[in-house]
Homo-oligomer: A and B are copies of this chain.
Amino acid sequence: MEQKSFHMTPDEFRRQGRAVVDWIADYYERVESFPVLSQVKPGEIRACLNPEPPMQGEAFEKILADVENLLPGVTHWQSPNFFAYFPANTSGPSILAELLSAGLGVQGMLWATSPACTELETHVLDWLVDALALPRKFKSDSAGGGTIQDSASSAALCALLAARERITQYQINARGVNERLVAYASTQTHSSVEKGVGIIGIGRENLRLIAVDENFAMRADELAKQIQTDRAAGLVPFFVCATIGTTSSNALDPLPEIGRICRDAGVWLHVDAAMSGTAAICPEYQTLNDGVEFADSYSFNPHKWMFTNFDCNCFYVADRAALINALSILPEYLRNQATESGAVFDYRDWQISLGRRFRSLKLWFVLRYYGIEGLRYHVRQHIALAQNFAAQIRASEKFELVAPSPLNLVCFRHVNGDAFNRQLLERLNASGRIYLTHTILNGQYTLRLCVGQTNTQARHVAEAWRLIQQVARELEGEK
């Protein structure tokens, strides 16, 4: 019946696969030659693309060659001169494990649909509890456990759902009753919590943004007060998000105090350590986790700072039943013996989507290729480079620190005010030589420099500092 085939043969796959592998190796060798922040204008990339999809297939070589035309539109997250946002770093073993995952092409929605996909995930998530000195209650042999989500946003959403259902005895999911629930975060908490509160139907107005102290950390006393006030008004406090390393300034919320408040109030505590959780791989930073023992859920992103390509968020819960009860569905066509035996995890009940990739492979590869010691070494290097940069800002007459720099993010500004700093940032990014982003702290326009890209070394940070000073001098000269 099928004499014809348009599929790539295994032999062509070998040949083209090598070409793509080489393309990527070449890319990393020349990545510093591109502007870090893409300099194209809206529509410029689309203008290079065929307006219509091809009717006839094209040679793989031609398609791969055309990737070159996309490069001007790429912002190079894997450039060692990328200091913007938080990083989304990666590494050779992670990229190759992602390739393996795509090649195997399994879909791990249920244990039965690929037991190795589920069991390896459970296993490496347990490994990370040990490696990061997280509470034992997050391990799979307790009542809790961990799973891989695509992002910290999804983790926060799942935490919100589990909390919403627990407090209402699983009645919102079932009946949509409105219990006048209230959630809490700080003014510095990641926007995904506000987005999640909107999604689950609580109403963004019912998210209280608690004031922060001079270090941009949540004020535990204000949290306690607000919970009391809300309860007195007949509202139902149900969820607090505390952060280890906020997005704006890497602020560290006081977890032990917040944790005790949540415990006493019977409120779900979610800890968002998306960026900074990785630091706890080093014993000297494990104090970051003080207070996590109070958390009902916790998440951090190996896809930010643990050399594992996006997407890979690790999400832990202390009581997996609360999560599963909030998200479980079981249509007939998904029934199977393993599920009914209760002896396995079906991770589709731990997340929003049904389907899921074999993402634990890349974590497994990274943890084994680097070893805990290798990861520690590079995390320490990044922190040292950022601390060194902060010291230079501190010593400078023209620049000042705007927030503490506990780890690998430095928030700073030129003393010449907001307009000057905005111009400075624009000119730096337009140079293509480095990429920084900004935030506003204490009402002031602030530059952020985060050291976390895999290949960032001392010379890159030194050159960034040199360039920042030089462009600032140029701008001063123009005034």
Stretch at the interface among A188-196, A221-229, A256-264, A400-408: A188-196
A438 touches B333 (CB 8 A): yes
Task: Give A6-19 as 1s and 0s: 1 = Cβ < 8 Å from B's Cβ atoms.
Answer: 11111111101110
Residues of B within 8 A of A372 (CB): 53-55
Copies of this chain in its oligomeric complex: 2
CA distance A375 to B53 in the complex (A): 12
What 8 A-B pairs have minimum CB-CB distances, sorted nearest first? A176-B203, A201-B201, A8-B92, A73-B116, A17-B21, A6-B374, A24-B103, A57-B371
Q: Is A99 at the interface (CB under 8 A from chain B)?
A: yes
Residues of chain B within 8 A (CB-CB) of A384 are 1
Flag if A331 contacts B54 (CB, 8 Å).
no
Contact A439 B333 (CB under 8 A): yes
A327 in contact (CB, < 8 A): yes
User: Does A471 sit at the interface, judged by CB under 8 A?
Assistant: no
Q: Judge whether A199 and B355 touch: CB under 8 Å.
A: no
Is there contact, CB below 8 Å, between A177 and B199? no
B195 touching A153, Cβ below 8 Å:
no
Q: Which residues of chain A from 87 to 127 have a CB within 8 Å of any chain B CB?
A: 88-96, 98-100, 102-107, 111-117, 119-120, 122-124, 127
B residues in contact with A195, CB < 8 Å: 327, 329, 352, 354
Quick check: is A151 within 8 A (CB to CB) of the other chain? Answer: yes
Given A63-B368, A178-B178, 18 more A-B residue pairs with CB atoms under 8 Å apart are A6-B369, A10-B26, A16-B92, A17-B96, A21-B99, A45-B120, A58-B371, A63-B369, A70-B116, A74-B114, A75-B115, A99-B99, A151-B353, A176-B201, A176-B205, A192-B354, A333-B438, A352-B352
A130 at the interface (CB under 8 A from B): yes
Which residue in B46, B77, B355 is a CB contact (below 8 Å) of A88?
A: B355
Is A154 close to B, CB under 8 A?
A: yes
Q: Are A10 and B23 in contact (CB under 8 A)?
A: no
Closest to A195 in B: B329
The stretch that binds B, out of A287-295, A391-399, A450-458, is A450-458
Cross-chain contact of A119 among B43, B56, B206, B437 (Cβ < 8 A): B43
Verify if A202 is at the interface (C-beta below 8 Å from B).
yes
Assess whether A10 is in contact with B25, with CB atoms less than 8 Å apart. yes
A sample of 29 cross-chain residue pairs with beta-carbon separation below 8 angstroms, ordered by A number, consists of A1-B384, A1-B457, A1-B458, A6-B374, A7-B91, A7-B307, A10-B25, A13-B24, A14-B21, A42-B115, A42-B341, A46-B122, A53-B124, A53-B127, A62-B368, A63-B369, A74-B114, A76-B106, A105-B310, A107-B310, A157-B199, A174-B205, A175-B203, A176-B202, A176-B206, A178-B201, A247-B331, A303-B355, A333-B437
Whether the pair B96, A16 counts as a contact (CB closer than 8 A) is: yes
Contact of A120 among B1, B70, B113 (CB under 8 A): B70
Query: Would you call B27 and A104 a contact (CB within 8 A)?
Result: yes
Residue pair B310, A355 in contact (C-beta under 8 Å): yes
For residue A284, CB closer than 8 A to chain B, the reply is: no
Chain B residues with CB under 8 Å of A150's CB are 150, 353, 355
| Min CB–CB distance A67 → chain B (angstroms) | 7
Q: Binary interface profile of A, 34-60, with partner B (CB < 8 Å = 1, else 0)?
A: 000110101111100100111111101
Given A18-B21, A44-B115, A92-B13, does the pair A370, B191 have CB atoms closer than 8 Å? no
Least CB distance, A329 to chain B, in whole angstroms: 4
Given contacts A49-B120, A99-B95, A115-B75, contact A14 B7 (CB under 8 A): no
CB-nearest residue of chain B to A63:
B368
A150-169 interface (Cβ within 8 A of B) = 150-154, 157, 161, 164
Contact B198 A201 (CB under 8 A): no
Q: Is the CB of A58 within 8 A of B369?
A: yes
Complex Cα gap A116–B40 (Å): 9
* Interface check A478, CB cutoff 8 A: no
* Residues of chain B with a CB closer than 8 A to A11's CB: 25
Contact string, A125-164, partner B, CB cutoff 8 A, digits 1/0?
Answer: 0011011000000000000000000111110010001001
Residues of chain B with a CB closer than 8 A to A204's CB: 173-175
Q: Is A413 an interface residue, CB under 8 A from the partner?
A: no
A21 to B19, CA, bound (A): 10
Q: How far is the CA of A248 from the CA of B451 in the complex (A)?
A: 50
Is A174 in contact with B203, judged by CB distance below 8 angstroms? yes
Least CB distance from A112 to B in Å reads 7
**A458 contacts across to B, CB distance below 8 A:** 1-2
CB neighbours of A419 from chain B (8 A): none
A333 & B448 in contact (Cβ 8 Å cutoff): yes
